[in-house]
């Protein structure tokens, strides 16, 4: 196989590092998926977001995507190839963002022998990478230069993909998968290795996914306009313990905090806690003090805890949530919690080195940490980039 320069490109063995939701699922079978593919280095090559978070729906002031030339090529040509080469797969919806793509795909019939969802994704990513090479004359660019970032003012918001919206060329030998990078380093691939898929298999989930995809530009703009309410810290120390955090860090400074803690079963009666009169009384008390300005702190694991969390989110009360799932550079909360962070009402904390291996152990450990946070008097934020640069030897 050869690249745009005519030089031979060596194909390397595939490394399977997809972030799949279910290892037991048959990815050759019928299914509906939301796929996410991220540009290497998060370069904003597909366009830009215009509009403001205060913009009126249905107007150009509402946040929307303006496609670059590469973004248009992906929508008008590369996405159409999916149905062309795999007629049993339909792209129901597309959400283009400056540095990543969401595709809502329906596989209506089993894929051909030897093919699976990852095969479709690999072919699509290959096509997009080749379009990037062609548009940017990539072989003539210095290594490491940011490419494809110029958006055209005439670009429109991304429509839902239609199989008939663009001509698709016949398959050719050049449609083979590309390697992670060429030996010379001049032909890197466009996307990060792997992809993320979410299997849509529950009632109501499809409409939620569609809404999530449609609101991507709005969330993007909110994050830029309200950085302090959407702050992400990977190394936060609270009374000597290390956490990662997402949301309004000022909630930690509130003087009044109270833990929400319920066992799964009432210890006196053995009944599910949420069915008891004592729970209803405590639930009412917690919501009342939260309305008066107290910050509720909980992992929200037991049914009783999760009911209070739901009440607090609906009433827009202040809340600190602990979770076992790590918070990394690109992690983000669910839609409902995201908007709670936007209003400054929510902080999500994930402790590093949560050693408990059982669900029961994690339940009690997270509740212990919630109790510690209610009593905490010290908070420090560690910026490791600054720390490393300050310790680097001078020339």
| DSSP-assigned letters across all residues of 241-300 | EEEEEEE-GGGGG-S-EEE----SB-TTT-SBGGGSHHHHHHHHHHHHHHHTTPEEEE--
DSSP for 22-50 reads -TTS-TTSSEEEEEEEEBGGG---SEEEE
* Same structural domain, 236 and 354: yes
Query: Does residue 210 fall inside a structural domain?
Result: yes
Among the three residues 225, 245, 262, which one is the final residue of a domain in this structure?
225
Query: Does residue 24 fall inside a structural domain?
Result: no
Among the three residues 194, 210, 225, which one is the final residue of a domain in this structure?
225
* Same structural domain, 57 and 41: yes
Which residues, 6 or more positions from 360, have their beta carbon under 8 angstroms from its beta carbon? Answer: none
* Same structural domain, 221 and 106: yes
CA distances from 368 to 48, 239, 259, 261, 364 (A): 44, 13, 10, 10, 6
Mean pLDDT by 10 residues, the chain (395 residues): 41 40 81 94 94 86 94 96 96 95 96 94 95 75 42 40 40 38 62 90 82 85 73 82 88 84 89 94 93 90 95 94 88 86 89 74 86 79 45 42
**Range(s) of the domain holding residue 210:** 31-225
Query: Does residue 25 fall inside a structural domain?
Result: no
* Same structural domain, 80 and 210: yes
Query: Does residue 5 fall inside a structural domain?
Result: no
pLDDT at 31: 95
pLDDT at 155: 36
pLDDT at 168: 41
* Same structural domain, 83 and 125: yes
Query: Does residue 22 fall inside a structural domain?
Result: no
Q: How many Cβ atoms sit within 10 Å of the Cβ of residue 323?
A: 20
| CATH number (domain holding residue 216) | 3.30.70.1290
pLDDT at 215: 84
Query: Does residue 4 fall inside a structural domain?
Result: no
Query: Does residue 163 fall inside a structural domain?
Result: yes
* Same structural domain, 201 and 242: no
Q: Residue 20: in which H helix or E strand, if any?
A: none
* Same structural domain, 245 and 356: yes
Whole-number Å distance between alpha carbons of 337 and 340: 5
pLDDT at 230: 67
* Same structural domain, 361 and 242: yes
Whole-number Å distance between alpha carbons of 61 and 13: 47
* Same structural domain, 216 and 287: no
Does the pTM surpass 0.95? The reply is no
Question: What's the total number of domains in the chain?
Answer: 2
Q: Nearest-CA neighbor of 1 among 135, 129, 137?
A: 129
Phi (first) and psi of residue 70, to 5 degrees: -65, -40
Whole-number Å distance between alpha carbons of 175 and 172: 6
Which residues, 6 or more positions from 389, have their beta carbon under 8 angstroms from its beta carbon? Answer: none
Whole-number Å distance between alpha carbons of 347 and 249: 6
Rg (CA), the chain: 24
Query: Does residue 63 fall inside a structural domain?
Result: yes
* Same structural domain, 205 and 256: no
**Within the chain, where are the H helices?**
69-73, 79-85, 117-136, 205-214, 216-225, 277-291, 303-314, 335-342, 359-375, 384-391
Among the three residues 206, 225, 244, which one is the final residue of a domain in this structure?
225
pLDDT at 356: 62
* Same structural domain, 46 and 170: yes
* Same structural domain, 153 and 217: yes
């Amino acid at each position: 196989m050869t690249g745009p320069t005519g030089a031979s490109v060596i194909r390397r063995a595939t490394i399977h590092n997809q972030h799949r939701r279910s290892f037991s699922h048959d990815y050759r079978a019928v299914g509906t998926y939301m796929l996410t593919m991220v540009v290497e280095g998060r370069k904003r090559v597909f366009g830009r977001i215009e509009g403001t978070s205060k913009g009126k729906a249905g107007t150009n002031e509402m946040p929307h995507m303006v496609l670059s030339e590469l973004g248009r090529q992906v929508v008008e040509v590369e996405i159409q190839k999916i149905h062309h080469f795999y007629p049993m797969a339909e792209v129901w919806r597309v959400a283009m963002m400056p540095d990543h793509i969401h595709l809502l795909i329906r596989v209506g019939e089993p894929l051909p022998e030897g093919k699976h969802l990852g095969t479709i994704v690999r072919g699509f990513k290959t096509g997009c990478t080749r379009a990037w090479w062609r548009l940017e004359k990539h072989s003539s660019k210095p290594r490491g230069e940011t490419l494809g970032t110029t958006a055209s003012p005439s670009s429109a918001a991304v429509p839902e993909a239609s199989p008939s919206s663009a001509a698709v060329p016949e398959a050719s030998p050049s449609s083979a998968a590309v390697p992670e990078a060429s030996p010379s380093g001049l032909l890197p691939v466009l996307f990060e290795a792997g992809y993320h898929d979410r299997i849509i298999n529950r009632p109501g989930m499809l409409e939620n996914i569609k809404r999530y995809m449609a609101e991507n530009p709005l969330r993007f703009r909110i994050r830029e306009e309200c950085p302090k309410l959407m702050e992400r810290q990977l190394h936060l120390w609270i009374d000597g313990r290390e956490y990662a955090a997402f949301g309004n860090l000022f909630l930690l400074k509130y003087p009044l905090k109270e833990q929400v803690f319920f066992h799964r079963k009432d210890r006196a009666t053995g009944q599910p806690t949420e069915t008891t009169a004592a729970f209803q009384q405590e639930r009412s008390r917690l919501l009342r003090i939260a309305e008066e300005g107290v910050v509720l702190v909980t992992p929200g694991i037991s049914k009783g805890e999760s009911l209070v969390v739901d009440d607090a989110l609906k009433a827009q009360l202040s809340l600190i949530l602990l979770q076992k799932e790590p918070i990394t550079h690109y992690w983000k909360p669910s839609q409902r919690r995201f908007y709670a962070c936007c209003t400054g009402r929510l902080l999500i904390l994930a402790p590093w080195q949560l050693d408990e291996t059982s669900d029961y152990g994690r339940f009690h450990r997270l509740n212990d940490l919630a109790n510690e946070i209610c009593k905490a008097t010290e908070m420090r934020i560690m910026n490791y980039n600054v720390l490393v640069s300050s310790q680097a030897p001078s020339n």
